[in-house]
Chain A
Amino acid sequence: MLPLENVIILSFGTGGVVPDAGKIFGELGADVIKIEAKDNLDFMRTIGPDINNIGQFNESNRSKRSFGVNLKTEKGRGIVSQLVKISDILAENFRGGVMKSLGFDYENVQKLNPQIIYISSQGFGSGGPYSEYQAYGPMLSAASGVLSIWAQPDDPYPVGSNAPYPDHMASKHLVIAAIAALDYRRRTGKAQFIDMAQTEVAASLAGEYYLDYTFNKRIPKPMGNRSLYAAPHGCYPCKGLDEWCTIAVFTDEEWQSFCGAMGNPAWTRDSRFSDLLGRLKNVDELDKYVGEWTSTLDTNVVMETLQASGIAAGVVQRATDTLADPQLKWDGAIIELDHAVSGKRLYPAVSFRMSGTSPLKSTPAPLLGEHTEEICHDLLKMPDDEIKQLLEEDVLYNPENAKGAGGGMFG
């Protein structure tokens, strides 16, 4: 059996958080139904010319079904209400206020199904002056304070990463909360509303920095790759263009091994480097020496040489390196799935192993409206001619009548 077998989850998701959460619910065996409209698409379907052929969308939306419905029509909302009645969890991260305007805010949904667990993931959380601000991950890492310390000390301003942080960490918090709520309902019969703020997820993951302010009245500054309790602790240039290896040396014993692994060059005998305090104090010079050593070597040579001496060292890997990474291969961490439009492409596999379940599986992302008819038929028991009629009226969408949707938001 699978952990979430027989659990039905309605996903009003867009972007990163709720889609990624839905993927994990699906991997755990839930029936995840993504509610999609043709004229108000998950914006991740619109970042390329074909709504069904976007890598990021097809990654986040694996292991779920797509239900295409026009939420602007009363009939469409009526059908979604029927789905609400048979669902266990509703998860949403639409812009603040949108679910209410559709009539699917918690108050209304609870009337339709008092047993439903409703989990809302807003950028800034509900309540408060910013609750209805449209929010993307990169905006929230900035507004939470985390971006201000995600930089080198000499950067003119912080830029963070291409990754939409904290989206993919917020999604896991959402999954944990939803399953805990499901278990609470199993034990007590009580359902509830959970209101998550993505800024707060970002802050929670860096909580010690906020305590530095509340305890010590200090506003933390960016430290780049340096550490307060390890040196060398950094990202060092290696042979070749833009090639780097990270090294972390914590204890004095590790320092001795590190010196040995480098062949004990003369500078390592400088007494200023002999203990951690000295290395921290003279870290600029230390980093310069370490960088001179690494820059003559290939990244893998640095990593292998140091690892052989028990020193934490790791190459700054690119996507292609992670595809070749022997440990990730061993663990089957990357899988190939055959998507109806995109063909055979690579994706991350399920991230954990559970000994007591049937194998956790990942299935390709759905086309827009791919499962509309089967859901109407199997779950809602609607007669075929009614389904056909609603498709003709553009109340429901299947991949046929959804053709022409979206298209190139990047112009």
Chain B
Amino acid sequence: MKKEQEGALSGYRVLDITDSNGAYCTKLLADLGADVIKIEPPEGDPGRRIPPFAGDTPHPEKSLHFLHRNANKRGVTLRLDTMEGSNILKRLVTTADVLVDNSPPDYMEKLGLDYSVLSEINPGLIMASITEFGHSGPYKDRKGSNLVDFAMSGIMITSGYPGKEPCLLPGSPAYDSASVHASVSIVAAIYMRGTTGQGQYIDTSVHVTSRTGLYPWIIPNYSYALNPGGPPPTSENRMGAQIYPVYPCKDGFIRIIALTPRQWDALVRVLDNPDVLQIEEWRSFMYRIGNADDLYALMLEFTTKYTMRELFEAGRREGVPIAPILNIADFYNSPQTKAREYFVEVDHPVAGKADYPSPPYKWTETPATMRRPAPCIGEHNEEVYCRELGLSTDNLASLRGGGIV
């Protein structure tokens, strides 16, 4: 961990009142050096109960989902639905640049903590709201979930095998789509504030951003197939491995991205020029899609002669992208991952030491790296409330006694 080095967003303070569904938004900012203070209720963010756990023992400090998505942040506890709690939040707002929340519509307003109130306390405040279905509209009060939002986004119908049930993308794709969009608009607002001195309010929803952000092409794919006066085109559906075919090899599976005739020719060379693959028709991508089953039967004989790595490297040499389908451990152990030092050891006081995925980029001036483990419940209460906000230790003790922190 490289705690001492400055990040691109060092010097900015972000108040994070999101739960596990918005945690990736503030993680992106924390990875770049922002001082992200996670604010959770005294009993802990419900996200701390998401399995699996380090060591497989359920424990609020050991949820892997929580540990990953809250690394690089500090953490305090605060009950926002009390007068004292909301007053403390307002004091924190005077020291903050950004506040992110993913509470349901109207919730912040009910607490008296909506943007109109907070921006009066701090006109430079950038407040970003992530809701499930938006602050208004016919679905505003509906219940979502990662699976449900992913289903409605339009990408799920293209995931999995034709004839079988559509398949969820692992992780939290719908929520993370909202998180990355919120984060984009937050850094844009920070940059803009450099000129205007003014904060602003940002509104994103999981429903809209997963529709527009995860697979934007499905809309033009449909729209470009519409012809005036003609019948409406069929909506895009699951195509299994037809576009990006998968074949078994000696020690696993490979995925081939052969789109152009040139890439197909390279693939034929990779497989040592079998006669049956040198028939002119196979050079056409559309022909290969139309005859995918026949091609699969033919290809088996050749791809199974090689290992994933042999095909990956031969593809590189001949000019056709071939990917090994690695499992999670294979990626961790891959020479590229090692060379880039992508996994970084982090020592958490309760969960212990382990290698974590680090931010997905290397920066020359301001490293984006692992600075600290995810906070324990209330770990930084004293640091933030007493040393930084100036509450006395007696004050803090009475807040603790009252169940406020």
Contact = CB atoms under 8 A, between A and B. Distances in A.
Chains A and B belong together in one complex: yes
Contact of A203 (B156, B214, B253, B342): B342
Given A317-B151, A330-B136, A161 B365 contact: no
Nearest to B200: A356
Interface in A306-363: 307, 310-323, 325-328, 330-331, 333-334, 342, 345-349, 351-357
Interface in A216-273: 216, 218-220, 222-225, 227-230, 233-237, 242, 244-248, 250
B255 A138 contact: yes
Closest 6 CB pairs of A and B: A356-B200, A128-B339, A55-B220, A200-B360, A55-B224, A348-B212
Given A128-B335, A319-B221, 8 more contacts: A169-B173, A211-B354, A212-B52, A215-B351, A328-B207, A330-B138, A334-B219, A354-B185
A99 interface: no
B197 to A, nearest CB: 11
A323 B223 CA distance: 10
11 contacts: A3-B191, A20-B216, A127-B339, A145-B332, A158-B325, A210-B357, A211-B357, A224-B165, A248-B146, A320-B235, A345-B224
Given A210-B357, A215-B64, A326-B137, A135 B159 contact: no
A105 B44 CA distance: 48
Name the prevailing secondary structure of the A interface residues. Answer: mixed
Nearest to B202: A354
B257 interface: yes
A327 B149 CA distance: 12
A338 to B, nearest CB: 12
Nearest to A365: B220
Interface stretch (A64-72, A189-197, A385-393, A394-402): A189-197
B328 A220 contact: yes
A367 interface: no
B246 A159 contact: yes
Interface residues of B, number: 161
Nearest to A242: B237
A204 interface: yes
Given A172-B213, A211-B356, A319-B236, A184 B261 contact: no
Interface residues of A, number: 157
A222 B15 CA distance: 35
A125 B340 contact: yes
B331 A47 contact: no
A355 B201 contact: yes
Contacts of A237: 165
B54 A216 contact: yes
A379 interface: no
Nearest to B171: A206
Interface in B123-167: 133-134, 136-140, 142-161, 164-167
A101 interface: no
A352 B331 contact: no
A331 B361 contact: no
Interface stretch (A32-40, A77-85, A173-181, A368-376): A173-181
A325 B244 CA distance: 30
Given A128-B340, A194-B361, A214-B354, A183 B190 contact: yes
A293 to B, nearest CB: 16
Interface stretch (B268-276, B278-286, B298-306, B393-401): B278-286
B23 to A, nearest CB: 11
B361 A195 contact: yes
Interface string B341-367: 011000000011011111111111110
Interface in A85-130: 124-130
B164 A201 contact: no
B286 A194 contact: no
A211 B64 contact: yes
B367 to A, nearest CB: 10
B184 interface: yes
Interface hub of A59, A173, A331 (most chain B Cβ within 10 A):
A331
B284 A410 contact: yes
A35 B358 CA distance: 32
A322 B356 CA distance: 37
Given A179-B187, A194-B362, A244-B166, A319 B356 contact: no
Contact of A142 (B180, B204, B325, B329): B325
